Amino acid sequence: MVKSIPEMVPHIAFGGDYNPEQWDEEVWLEDAKLMQEAGVNLVSVAIFSWSMIERNEDQFDFSWLDRVISILHDHGIGISLATATASPPAWLSKKYPDILAVQPNGVPYQPGSRQHYSPNSKRFRNSVEKLVKKMAERYGNHPALKMWHVNNEYACHLAECYSDESLEAFRKWLRDKYETIDELNKSWGTAFWSQRYNEWDEIQFPVNLPTFYNPSQKLDYKRFMNDSIFDLYLLEKNILREMTPDIPIFTNFMYEFKPLNYFQWAKELDLVTWDSYPDPREGKPYRHAMHHDLMRSLKNGQPFYLMEQVTSHVNWRDINLTKGPGEMRLWSYSNVARGGDGVMYFQWRQGRAGAEKFHGAMVPHSNNPESRTYQEVKQLGNELKKLDDLVGATTDAEVAIIFEWENWWAVEHEGKPHNKLSYLDQVYQYYKVLFEQNIAVDFVHPEQDVSKYKVVIAPMLYLMTDKTADNLQSYTSAGGNLIVTFFSGIADENDHIHLGGYPAPIRKLLGITVEEFAPMADEQSNMIISNGQEHRTTHWADIIQLEGAKAAAYFKDDWYHSKPAVTVNNFGKGRAFYIGTNPEEAYLNNFIHGLLEELKISSPMQVPNNVEVTERKTKDQSFIFILNHNRTEVTINLDKTYFNCLESKDVSETVTVPGTDLVILRSDIKS
Amino acid sequence: MVKSIPEMVPHIAFGGDYNPEQWDEEVWLEDAKLMQEAGVNLVSVAIFSWSMIERNEDQFDFSWLDRVISILHDHGIGISLATATASPPAWLSKKYPDILAVQPNGVPYQPGSRQHYSPNSKRFRNSVEKLVKKMAERYGNHPALKMWHVNNEYACHLAECYSDESLEAFRKWLRDKYETIDELNKSWGTAFWSQRYNEWDEIQFPVNLPTFYNPSQKLDYKRFMNDSIFDLYLLEKNILREMTPDIPIFTNFMYEFKPLNYFQWAKELDLVTWDSYPDPREGKPYRHAMHHDLMRSLKNGQPFYLMEQVTSHVNWRDINLTKGPGEMRLWSYSNVARGGDGVMYFQWRQGRAGAEKFHGAMVPHSNNPESRTYQEVKQLGNELKKLDDLVGATTDAEVAIIFEWENWWAVEHEGKPHNKLSYLDQVYQYYKVLFEQNIAVDFVHPEQDVSKYKVVIAPMLYLMTDKTADNLQSYTSAGGNLIVTFFSGIADENDHIHLGGYPAPIRKLLGITVEEFAPMADEQSNMIISNGQEHRTTHWADIIQLEGAKAAAYFKDDWYHSKPAVTVNNFGKGRAFYIGTNPEEAYLNNFIHGLLEELKISSPMQVPNNVEVTERKTKDQSFIFILNHNRTEVTINLDKTYFNCLESKDVSETVTVPGTDLVILRSDIKS
Amino acid sequence: MVKSIPEMVPHIAFGGDYNPEQWDEEVWLEDAKLMQEAGVNLVSVAIFSWSMIERNEDQFDFSWLDRVISILHDHGIGISLATATASPPAWLSKKYPDILAVQPNGVPYQPGSRQHYSPNSKRFRNSVEKLVKKMAERYGNHPALKMWHVNNEYACHLAECYSDESLEAFRKWLRDKYETIDELNKSWGTAFWSQRYNEWDEIQFPVNLPTFYNPSQKLDYKRFMNDSIFDLYLLEKNILREMTPDIPIFTNFMYEFKPLNYFQWAKELDLVTWDSYPDPREGKPYRHAMHHDLMRSLKNGQPFYLMEQVTSHVNWRDINLTKGPGEMRLWSYSNVARGGDGVMYFQWRQGRAGAEKFHGAMVPHSNNPESRTYQEVKQLGNELKKLDDLVGATTDAEVAIIFEWENWWAVEHEGKPHNKLSYLDQVYQYYKVLFEQNIAVDFVHPEQDVSKYKVVIAPMLYLMTDKTADNLQSYTSAGGNLIVTFFSGIADENDHIHLGGYPAPIRKLLGITVEEFAPMADEQSNMIISNGQEHRTTHWADIIQLEGAKAAAYFKDDWYHSKPAVTVNNFGKGRAFYIGTNPEEAYLNNFIHGLLEELKISSPMQVPNNVEVTERKTKDQSFIFILNHNRTEVTINLDKTYFNCLESKDVSETVTVPGTDLVILRSDIKS
């Protein structure tokens, strides 16, 4: 049976991507020594090594990789071994051009960067299968092997393919889903614009169209591509599971990443890992934090690994700002504070050639051991050794936000009342309010059991299945507090309207009908009045008719003035709130704050502004993280004596946290 | 012989597009009853029904449509029957891929939205022919049939095709036009850049070029595509005329629509109809009004139908604002006020699926008969019944503006002195001044007889044929007042320069020579001085030499200061004005106002700002429309007693018009 | 042996492109007479005449061109005869479609504009060869022939081709360069992202990639395309040299033109000529001046021809402003002042048809000999006759700026720390400071001997070969003053990092190590402090460690405050300055001004602001040009008596230059 991550790596994992094939062999030993010095205990190897391992079809050369792994193992460094399938070699596409993904204009992608394969190419899948088996055969029993890193950042550049083979696969996927063409016609609403199909092979991709696509077809295309790529992952995973049943398997996720339904994927991963590259220019810790929380939520709270971050600066933005002293360390701990058991980087040694040579690394171009970059890495690596007893600790949250990839796809399709709204921004908006009050938040799938949460928030849940509507209803009637925001409950899983007054499937739950939408132009706004206070609102106004609910706020201006903007409805033992507009942050702060207070949901510790506080717990111990995002120090009152983990000493009454710094306070949990 | 529209529909037509194939049959009867209640007397049927009618090649199923039409007829609702050719079914392009239009990169468009056919596909034309004959056979004698709606919004998404078959057709079109390749070489100026052709089949489309196209070739390509699509219309029209000689035939036009030369098309329509979707965000009634006036002018003042508008909001803008209470009604009457005898919508029932499901309709998603949307529809539909005696009434205008599609094409081609000028904006600018003074305006083709107008305005008439020059000369010398603006009379019908000093063909008429153009950058401006007053001017300055004309305004600054900016020349019994720059609105207001006063051209009634006044007349009666675009009421003095049509009572001395409302005042014309 | 330019044209050349094939023959004689009157002594003929000369394959018609040249010769006008290969005729690409260049999506360019050929098409090269031989045979001995104008503005629209034939050529070019595939793998760093090649024919173009290209591959592609086009030039040049050994040969260059390495090209030209179209909207004479200086520098100071400029306005910008009175003359003299021995225009007679008909010319559309345009041309043409003794005069500069095309290509590739920096803007910035102090500047290739200059500036010389590093080191150690700016010396000729601390190859020379880059966002800035003065700096900060150098300025803010921003290092007998940031102009002014003063480098004459001063010298005489770019007159004190060339009289004590005007002061050089 597969071993747990803490069994394989009983530490906070620390290390990074390691690409020794880019360097002469004499550097390898130097690397291993520097890694040891820096506290590295895990490196990712072979991610882009296909062309170095399989030099030509069926000609494998593992000798160099054997040596690399042996050196690492000798220095006590474990490996997260990639299956090397992320970037197919040039000989492969020359021999089998059908492995190439194809652009909407019919032109194939070419080798010369990476990820140019089509997930629907049978030939490509064959080649992957052969390589993965070879890797598992060769290294499956190596004592350095801690986990399998499958492929790399699936779909990061290429989430759509328009090859003939993909078209065949799309038609097959549709046939499997709908069984009859009549069912497809119904689900796609093809009576509109004379789009009816007689045969499966009349179906084309939703591209190269004179005007708006069929949104149901487009939604299915997104599902199909997600499934195609997922199936490619499963191909590797199943081989590895069979050949090395005890080794954990994962692939690395990305943030704000729309094409892949990570809730679906996470079920088939033993560990959630992700790659995080916040822009120092934004300097907004809440976004970074939300990504951590989402990743932790994908496998029900199981700790995750931050698999890639950068020490200093990336190279793929227009302007790539660098992290100042202390920032990399603080942001690394923000990850640990929210459930991260791994702190890894792209990459170990900064490249000298290629497209990413200006991407920062643990060892910079200067190769200077006194460089700020390497020194900060070394400090952090050695510091993390103090946190072994944190490994596996979890987070308790009383608030959940619903997040759903299919909704993301559907709600951002063209042809909506307001086409400049972003699903992610709507979610961020509610998350931010909670983050700034240091309230722990889980993200949940809309159809999952949410009964353990005191508050559930559903921002812009446009696509709503009947099952979700039932779930929300059960949750609320059992005593939950549900917050639903505008443009929710509009369409079903085929992106067809729920008829009979918006949002039809939860009208009773909310006690309202939305009769019309009144989107606002960029330059427009309105005010909402609540308890005598006025707040600005923008983008959207629902025209709400009360059918049992009470108004909690009204619009002030325009033809719909005096109509409800926010409502609350008692439903069973619980309450359902509806926010039918996009109010400014101050309103949401008041609104959420009032609710949290009433429900006695609070932060683990009271802290000044711009200080992040979280708590992780093991069976016996609590770890409170206090991260100071201010540039100046803050002092915090303590209710008891804690153990300051990084300073390895007790602290009581107050603790002072310098600017851009943190403390971790451990205490026993009384049972 | 074809019957007149009033013979077929002796009312203000009221109704909309009706797409029953998107709904279960049980809804159809409910629809008919609701229509009756709402005063609907005409609906457009079968526009996107090809795939439901011809289920596969030569397999026709009219049964459902028979039932629909029968229900409508039973409820006293006439049909404007579409030929169903607007969106070919998927089986057709699968079987005959050559029907697909092709993009400049050679990639065919695909089914999955609509209008993906090439007008030059012989195969497509064959299929259209078959379908239209079937439709005419089936319904040509149906008593519900009021008119034929051919295709739908020709070219709205696809006005260019680059298929091989289109290339053959283009070459044939050129051969028909020029007869010899030498004549083409001359007309295209191919001595430039070594572009000479020896053979017709050397000619390519003006795309995929390393740099600037040949403007004469591009102009011919635009003519060719217009003619190709027109020919497709004629194919249907000729079948229908032959098979159903008494039924009026039309297709629906669009506004601000550049690809099709509607002056050419209107000759072959029995009724001008058009689709109007002004953005509520703009809130500028003059633009909407100009479209009405243009549509009325296309068939010499014959009343037109507004064939599509929306009750509430569209779904294809980035942000789709909704019309507030009363706005839809007011804008509907603006159409009637300017010559519209039909008030129709897209569409009857709001769709539940497909790309347009968020486009408003007469019956909204809620299906609630108490909804604001349906209530406003019902009010209007029943109110319009009071206006039967208005049907067929016409508009007298003393001012005409020249508008020309070929000029529009040519003047906006690349490579001009100022490439950010818009022909439409130049026309709008002059129209707006007249609109705000409530002066009736006709639009005229430059080669048509304009002798009945007191004033003719030719904004930026870059492309000017000798025939046009003669026409303007005759008009003026007979006593007309001609206003020509900058960059007019520059090129001939091949887009070759009229040599010898601009604007060569009307230099004598204007009494000037323009020696040079001095375009201004966005951040630049100048002042013009006229009668001691200064006005700002932008974009363009002509360097004018007087050759008989007098200066009416001078430039103030820059190296051409003190040179004429506006001139007037006595010519025969008339006068020719020239405006050699782009002055601010206040100047144009003064300029036009002075001229109108002198010529005793005035509004039908004196009204406050932002109130629109028009007059329509039958043989015996005058109808004065007073539309109040203000949000607050206005009171207007009356010179006599009128009959207030909508309130069905006499009114005298004053009439008060509430905000966003209107009155229609009828009086007898003394003969 | 080839004759010198002054032998062929012992005057300031004056004339323009002449395209008689666009006009009826009766105009030709009128043209010649007007040219004579205007002082024209040279015209460029046959540039776009291929289709008129070779009417179909191997069917040549020279009769019309014979007549044209004969008329010109009869009027004493020489010809710069084009080889007519710039725009292939339509019959050629119809017969041999493989001559067409191909877009990245695989779609060939088409005839209908110009320059649609692929430089790598063997068939195209054959056709060119035939035509050039015919031209040389026909006119090689004609007494009117002064020089050969090969093709026209190579690559101006089309600098990339993706045809199959180009791909073969690219692979061959790579094989010739690298000999073994292993060497290519090493030079391209293909160990990165699994990009290793086994065979040459696995290599593709760096397009149609899912993400970032390989920068080494892209750099080679740019080199390859430059070489392909250069080889096409050499094909013509070699034929002409062999058949007409005494006739000078050139092609015309462009400004701010990145695709072609003009330092490489200039070696194979007998005369540098270029086409200059500054935007009157910018009104910044320093940019125009820099182009002149660069062109003069391409052949080590040999006078060049301004082969194209416009009298009034171009037609290819969005808004095409016209030159006011005197501006064309002043800018023409700016060219002469900086080494131009030719003042030529595009074109003689303004076209009546085609894409460039709104491009100004010497004879405007009005054909009016009294027009401002023609009058200014005539004045200038006759005035230039006074400057025969200037022909061949050269410019002495004590300051050089390094300029390099391969660096331009490499430094602007994607994936850099700051991707919004422009190489050209960095160069302009330093040039501008020198221009405004009226200091003569040469441009130099980084590997060329620069020992004669007192100051050498290397702005952003990212790509630095070892040879360049040695060159800079030798220069400085021998007593030179070297200024290097940030992001220099980073990569080698393969775009691989020079490891070991930036800028590794010149760290010792500069006495520093740059440890990190800290790019700034658009909205960010810092201050630098130098001698108590503060100046704003933007875009970039280097984190510098002093290793022998002294700091000349420090950063004020951010985490790297107090670290050096500008340094100076004594090296051998010289000094090496390093500017590790992008300071505002005022700082650079002070910095450069101080250095010039110390080194006694000064302007030929002290003048007010916005007055341009240059000096050209023959063996015996000095010509000082004083160009007044102000609109008002300036008066300048003279140190002695000069001969005012244009007024043909002596002047002493003071000379007054009207606004937008100039004087040329000649004096003897005492030997």
Per CB-CB distance under 8 Å, the chain C contacts of A52 are 191, 194, 196
Q: Would you call C419 and A319 a contact, using CB atoms and an 8 Å cutoff?
A: yes
- Mutation to test the C interface, candidates A17, A318, A330, A348, most C Cβ within 10 Å: A318
Three-state secondary-structure class, residue A422 = coil
Q: Would you call A19 and C192 a contact, using CB atoms and an 8 Å cutoff?
A: yes
How much is the pLDDT for C284?
80
Can you tell me the mean pLDDT for C508-529?
98
Whether the per-residue pLDDT at B280 is higher than 90: the answer is no
Tell me the pLDDT of chain A averaged across its residues: 97
Q: Would you call A418 and B320 a contact, using CB atoms and an 8 Å cutoff?
A: yes
Q: Would you call C202 and A48 a contact, using CB atoms and an 8 Å cutoff?
A: no
Q: Would you call B114 and A199 a contact, using CB atoms and an 8 Å cutoff?
A: no
Can you tell me the mean pLDDT for C9-28?
98
Can you tell me the mean pLDDT for C288-296?
97
Long-range contact set of residues B141-144: C-beta below 8 Å, sequence gap at least 24: B141/B244, B142/B69, B142/B73, B142/B79, B143/B73, B144/B69, B144/B72, B144/B73, B144/B77, B144/B78, B144/B79
Secondary structure E strands in A394-525: 399-402, 441-444, 455-458, 481-485, 512-517
Distance CA C115, CA C521 (A): 40
Active-site residue identified among B54, B165, B308, B376: B308
Distance CA A91, CA C199 (A): 8
- Report B:99-118 residues touching C (Cβ under 8 A): 104-106
**Structure tokens given for C114:** 């110009």
How much is the pLDDT for A670?
82
Per CB-CB distance under 8 Å, the chain B contacts of A562 are none
pLDDT digits (tens, 9 = 90+) for A453-476: 999 999 999 999 999 999 999 999
pLDDT digits (tens, 9 = 90+) for A113-168: 999 999 999 999 999 999 999 999 999 999 999 999 999 999 999 999 999 999 99
pLDDT digits (tens, 9 = 90+) for A224-261: 999 999 999 999 999 999 999 999 999 999 999 999 99
Active site residue B308: yes
Which residue ranges of A make up the annotated binding site for Zn(2+)? Answer: 161
Which residue in the block uniquely carries the two structure tokens 């200080």? A611
Can you tell me the mean pLDDT for C286-298?
97
Q: Could you give all domains of chain B from N- to C-terminal order, each with its CATH number?
A: 5-83+132-159+232-388 (3.20.20.80), 164-218 (no CATH), 399-598 (3.40.50.880), 611-668 (2.60.40.1180)
Q: Which of C604, C601, C613 is nearest to C640 (CA)?
A: C604
% of chain B beyond a pLDDT of 90: 99
How much is the pLDDT for C280?
87
Active-site residue identified among C54, C165, C236, C308: C308
Identity at C407, one-letter amino acid code:
N
pLDDT digits (tens, 9 = 90+) for C577-591: 999 999 999 999 999
Whether the per-residue pLDDT at C614 is higher than 80: the answer is yes
Cβ of residue B541 closer than 8 Å to a chain C Cβ: no
Per CB-CB distance under 8 Å, the chain B contacts of A209 are 109-110, 112-113, 116
Q: Would you call C103 and B515 a contact, using CB atoms and an 8 Å cutoff?
A: no
Burial B384-407 (b: 16+ CB within 10 A, else e): beebeebbebbbebbbbbbbbbbb
- ipTM of the complex in this document: 0.97
Q: Would you call C351 and B192 a contact, using CB atoms and an 8 Å cutoff?
A: yes
Phi, psi of A184 (to 5 degrees): -65, -45
- Report A:63-92 residues touching C (Cβ under 8 A): 84, 86-91
Cβ of residue A188 closer than 8 Å to a chain B Cβ: yes
Distance of CA A470 to the CA centre of its chain: 26
Active site residue C308: yes
Can you tell me the mean pLDDT for A619-630?
97
B608 contacts B656 by C-beta, under 8 angstroms: no
DSSP label of A271: S
Distance CA A500, CA A271 (A): 44
- Mutation to test the C interface, candidates B181, B185, B188, B194, most C Cβ within 10 Å: B194
- Mutation to test the C interface, candidates A18, A22, A100, A110, most C Cβ within 10 Å: A110
Whether the per-residue pLDDT at C455 is higher than 90: the answer is yes
Exposed / middle / buried, residue A302 (Cβ in 10 Å: 0-12, 13-18, 19+): buried
Cβ of residue A208 closer than 8 Å to a chain C Cβ: no
How much is the pLDDT for C311?
98
- Mutation to test the A interface, candidates B322, B328, B330, B367, most A Cβ within 10 Å: B322
Which residue ranges of A make up the annotated binding site? Answer: 114, 152, 161, 316
Which residue ranges of A make up the annotated binding site for substrate? Answer: 114, 152, 316
Q: Would you call B90 and A188 a contact, using CB atoms and an 8 Å cutoff?
A: no
Distance of CA A596 to the CA centre of its chain: 26
- Rounded to the nearest angstrom, the minimum Cα separation between C261 and chain B is 21
Distance CA B553, CA B565 (A): 5
Q: What is the pTM of this model?
A: 0.97
Whether the per-residue pLDDT at C342 is higher than 90: the answer is yes
Give me the total of CB pairs closer than 8 Å, taking one residue from chain A and one from chain B: 190
The neighbouring-strand residues paired with A569 are A576
Cβ of residue A201 closer than 8 Å to a chain B Cβ: yes
Can you tell me the mean pLDDT for B85-108?
98
How much is the pLDDT for A671?
67
Exposed / middle / buried, residue A530 (Cβ in 10 Å: 0-12, 13-18, 19+): middle
% of chain C beyond a pLDDT of 90: 99
Per CB-CB distance under 8 Å, the chain C contacts of A313 are 417, 517, 519
Per CB-CB distance under 8 Å, the chain A contacts of B373 are 516
Cβ of residue C550 closer than 8 Å to a chain B Cβ: no
Cβ of residue B355 closer than 8 Å to a chain A Cβ: yes
Per CB-CB distance under 8 Å, the chain C contacts of A89 are 194, 196
DSSP C557-580: SSTTTTSEEEEEEEETTEEEEEE-
Identity at B232, one-letter amino acid code:
L
How much is the pLDDT for C282?
81
- Rounded to the nearest angstrom, the minimum Cα separation between A538 and chain B is 12
Name subunits touching A (3+ CB pairs < 8 A).
B, C
How much is the pLDDT for B313?
97
Cβ of residue C97 closer than 8 Å to a chain B Cβ: no
Per CB-CB distance under 8 Å, the chain A contacts of B371 are 515-516
Cβ of residue C541 closer than 8 Å to a chain A Cβ: no
pLDDT digits (tens, 9 = 90+) for B184-220: 999 999 999 999 999 999 999 999 999 999 999 999 9
pLDDT digits (tens, 9 = 90+) for B519-571: 999 999 999 999 999 999 999 999 999 999 999 999 999 999 999 999 999 99
Cβ of residue A513 closer than 8 Å to a chain B Cβ: yes
C316 is in an annotated binding site: yes
How much is the pLDDT for B671?
67
- Report A:158-177 residues touching C (Cβ under 8 A): 158
Q: How many residues does chain A have?
A: 671
Can you tell me the mean pLDDT for C344-356?
98
Q: Would you call C206 and A91 a contact, using CB atoms and an 8 Å cutoff?
A: no
- Rounded to the nearest angstrom, the minimum Cα separation between C319 and chain A is 29
Per CB-CB distance under 8 Å, the chain C contacts of A318 are 419-420
Cβ of residue A364 closer than 8 Å to a chain C Cβ: yes
Which residue in the block uniquely carries the two structure tokens 């007008």? B119
